[in-house]
Structure formats: C-alpha cells, structure tokens
Amino acid sequence: MVQSVANLLVWRYRGGMRAHASFEDVPRLEDLELHADIAEQMLMHLEEWLATDPVTVSDERTWPRVEDLCTEASISDQTLARIRKVAKVGHGKMGGAARNHRYSPPEVKRMLEEARRGQYLSKRRYDGWEKWAR
Amino acid sequence: MEVNLATAAESAASLRFVQARLRRLVIENITLRGILTAAVDDLAGLITAHLKSILARNLWELDLAERVLRTPADSTELRSSGHTHWVTFKGRVSRYLIPSAAAFMSGELGPGRKRENVVKTALMDLESTRASLMSPSASPHRRITKNTASEDIYWRIQVSLPPDFPAAPPDPRALELAELRRLPNEQYGIVTLYHLGGVLDAGSTRPLLPLP
C-alpha cells in the first residue's frame, strides 16, 4: 500500500518527466495545486530548519563514505551499488567520484531501509549502519 | 476574468521566486537533494498511517451506530449522554419504507413493526458499509428487494461519542495551511519537503532531483 501511494505521489509532480521527454509534457509551475503563499511559508520553514537541523549543519567530514559502509556490513562495492540504485541515492555505478562520496544520515537511512526491504543482506549485518542513519 | 488572470500570473511569479530560491539552496547544499527525495516515501508512510486512523475511526463510528440501532425504542440511555454526533452511511431501502426511515432518523418513529423493519434494513446496510470499509476492493453489497422498487438512502444515526473518541486527525494530503499546521512539527516538515520537491523541478527539463 505504501508503494502504491508513493507511486501516486511521485506521479503527481514528476511522473510526466519520466513518461515524456519533450518540453511540452513537463509539469509546469502553473499546474501545481500548491498555492504560492503556502509555498513561501514552506520555504521559510525549510530555511529555518536548515539553519538549525543537526543533520544539515553537522560536519560532513564525519559522514560515512563507501568504504565505511562496505566495511561495516562486510559487503562488496557491487552490493552497495545495487542498494544505492534501488534506494535512488545516485546511480549504481561505482566510479572514483562515487567511491569518495559521503552519505548524509537521511541517505544512509534510505539505503538501510531499501537493503532491508530488498533483503539484500540480513538485518544483523546492517545493524552497524544505524549509527550513521541517526 | 481579468482579475483571475492577474491573480494567476502573480501566483506563478511568486512560485517562480520560491523555485529560484529553492534551486539555489539545493545547489549549495547537496544533502538537501537526498532529503527532498526521501520526503516522497516519508509522506507516503504518513498518508498510509492517516488512512488507517480514519478507517479505525469510521469503524468505531459504525459500532456506535449499531449500538444505537440495537437499542430498544423506549430506551434513552444512549442518546441522552455525551457529545452527540451524526453517523452517516449509504443504504438502499424499499420505496414503501422511506417515510418510516425518515421518521426513524428524526426520532419520530415509535415502537412497532415499521420500526423493526427500518432497523433491520439499516443494520444490513451498516454491515454492508463495514464490509466495504474492511476490504475496499470488494464490490459493494446491494440488496435487491423482490417485487418492490427500492431507492438509495443516506442513513443518519445520532450517537453519543465516548470521551476517548479521537478528534478527526489532520490530513497530510491537505493543501490548506490551517489544516497542515495541525500536524505535529515533524510531519509538517515532511509535507513541506514533499511539496517543495515538487516545486523545485516543475517546468524544468533538467531536474535536480533524481527521477523516480
């Protein structure tokens, strides 16, 4: 049920882009149901949150890299690449730039959930990731 | 008409301004992309939980209505205490029963065979409504009354709400700020991130967020 709702939500704003490549079919700002006043309020809320949230203001140098995550769960680059791909955190390839990428806690959380949902590995092997997902 | 066009143009200009500020934020803060992307699934979870709580509330309402329907006509026990509330559900009754059903709903139908028939029909409709709530994919149950024409009706049963009956929860799908502000702060944040994610790439052939 969650998945079907998610698909509906994704379609609502961005589905047109996936189904059609032409410019005419891209959803326009004017097509959004969201009122401009509300969007402004939401943006203000986001800006306030960004200024205070520990995730976004934390030191990015402490976030885990590919090596950290692979070592922690004893998995290969390829397994992590597969998880990244289905969790939609970047593409599945592991080039130099991807290997050096640091993952934010929400990204790790997303990968963790996807890994469990996809049953790529046992829960026990991913327990180590939870410290990064907080 | 001109006023409407001007308002629409103003609204689009404001949204474009929000979008520009948002795109700058996302470009400056790479973390934000992951957060905005994750908001879609987070909101899906919120909506699922919301629908479950609405379902539980509706089923509880039907239980209360059933209790009232099964209460003898001369009892005032259930109608006299607590905060009153109308429970409505759809039904189908024989045409000859409609006046009695209307009298029953306004509390003017005394004990007797007519009342028994009305209550029996209402309970069947209530059970059918409950079944369709429990499994929405099942085709709605419709009773056919032999040899008599029947009509759709909305049953309205007055019940007393118990003190622990939950207030209507705020809907995370709402687009009115007053309704969204009723959400807990964390949930409001998720809704905010979801909508801003939609604003971010609207009208752009080069989206900043990964495509689903």
pLDDT digits (tens, 9 = 90+) for B125-152: 999 999 988 886 665 555 555 556 888 8
Please report residues of B whose CB lies closer than 8 A to that of A52: none
The answer to the question of residue B87 being in a domain is: yes
| Of A3-7, A44-48, B163-167, minimum mean pLDDT range | A3-7
Residue A1's pLDDT band (cuts 50, 70, 90): very low
Please report residues of B whose CB lies closer than 8 A to that of A31: 202
pLDDT at A21: 37
Question: Which residue among B12, B47, B209 places its CB closest to the CB of A29?
Answer: B12
High-pLDDT (> 70) share of chain B, %: 85
Q: What does the buried/exposed string (b/e) look like for B139-149 if buried means 16 or more CB atoms within 10 Å of the residue's CB?
A: eeeeeeeeeee
The answer to the question of residue B84 being in a domain is: yes
Residue B100: which domain range?
A: 61-161
The answer to the question of residue B1 being in a domain is: no
At A110-122, the pLDDT tens digits run 888 888 887 777 7
Checking if the pLDDT of A107 tops 60, the result is yes
Report CA Rg, chain A. 18
How many contacts does A have with B, using Cβ atoms within 8 A? 142
**Is B88 near chain A, with CB under 8 Å?**
no
Domain coordinates in residue numbering, chain A = 1-32, 61-133
The answer to the question of residue B90 being in a domain is: yes
Please report residues of A whose CB lies closer than 8 A to that of B29: 50, 56
Average pLDDT over residues A31-58: 81
pLDDT at A129: 81
Higher pLDDT, A133 or B168: B168
In Å, how far is B189's CA from the nearest CA of chain A?
Answer: 8
The answer to the question of residue B100 being in a domain is: yes
Checking if the pLDDT of A34 tops 90, the result is no
Quote the pTM value.
0.67
Higher pLDDT, B182 or A97: B182
pLDDT lower than 70: segments of chain B: 1-5, 74-82, 136-148, 210-212
Chain-centre distance of CA B48, in angstroms?
Answer: 13
Between CA B131 and CA B143, with CA B124 as vertex, the angle to 5 degrees is 90
Domain count within chain B: 1
Please report residues of A whose CB lies closer than 8 A to that of B25: 46-47, 50
